[in-house]
Amino acid sequence: MPIPGIGALRVWRRDLEVWKRFAVTFVVASLGEPLFYLLAMGYGLGRYVENIGGVPYVVFLAPGIIASAAMNSASVEATFGSYTRMAEQQTYAAILATPCSVADIVGGDILYAASKGTAASMFVMLVTAPLGVLHGPWVVGLPVIALLAGLMFGALGVAVTARAPSYDFFNYYFTFGISVMFLFAGVFFPLETLPAWARVVAWCLPLTHAVAACRMLAAGHVTPAIVVHLAWMLVVAAAAFVVAERLVRRRLIV
């Protein structure tokens, strides 16, 4: 199995160097959408939903929005961002002319996507905290879940990018992958309400585990089941990295 080395940190630093230029845009973009969802759904729809599992709807919703912020931000970076570096700017080819390996480049890019995902998720956390939706000391674990989710969606994104013939290709990924997860991974309603077969499908969606873990931490009710969610995300992240590395190598080293 290819292991990213110190080169991955160097690639990550390069990405951060570029990110500095777009920091303001990033903060605005990563706060805007999640907040609008919270307001529209949490307060708008929340008026008609008494409570879910004994908590106000906005309290139920917030951890899901925190988790999906990590997914969205990491996914955009690992698709549009990585594709730009791989195909448009030839950045990958330039870096490959140095001691950095494909594993370093892919690893660095995934780490960068995960960093952005974590940052986006934490912005949402900081802004929603005053609404009284986060409870207890377990909240400090939220960034860890965001990072894991970021690594997972970063790796999945780069794997998709490696096969993308053009930017248009990502429409499929976002419509049939990311949007589906956003709607059916338990962000907006408890999965327990679904028929058994649908629950099984939902359980297979990567976002489901990030949402479930975030919800446990935010509510302060942490059960051993969290270990399953964390392990699930780690395994998917690692597997997606192996696939992404192989596909990018196949595309660049010919």
Select the span of 10-18, 41-49, 69-77, 199-207 touching another protein (CB under 8 A).
10-18
- Residue 14 or 116: which CB sits closer to another protein? 14
Among 4, 7, 34, 186, interactor with another protein by CB under 8 A: 7
Cβ at position 18, least distance to another protein in Å: 4
Build a one-symbol-per-residue string for 11-40: x at contacts with another protein by CB under 8 A, - elsewhere.
Answer: x-xx--xx--x-------------------
d(CA 187, CA 200): 16
Helix (H) / strand (E) containing 238: helix 225-252
Residues between 76 and 135 with contacts to another protein, criterion CB under 8 A? 89-91, 93-101
Contacts with 120 (C-beta within 8 Å, 6 or more apart), sequence order = 26, 30, 31, 34, 69, 70, 72, 73, 146
Closer residue to another protein, CB minimum distance, 21 or 47? 21
How far apart CA 80 and CA 88 sit, in angstroms, is 10
Using CA atoms, how far residue 198 sits from 201, 204, 244, in Å, is 5, 10, 28
For binding to another protein (CB under 8 A), which residues are involved?
Answer: 6-7, 10-11, 13-14, 17-18, 21, 89-91, 93-101, 252-254
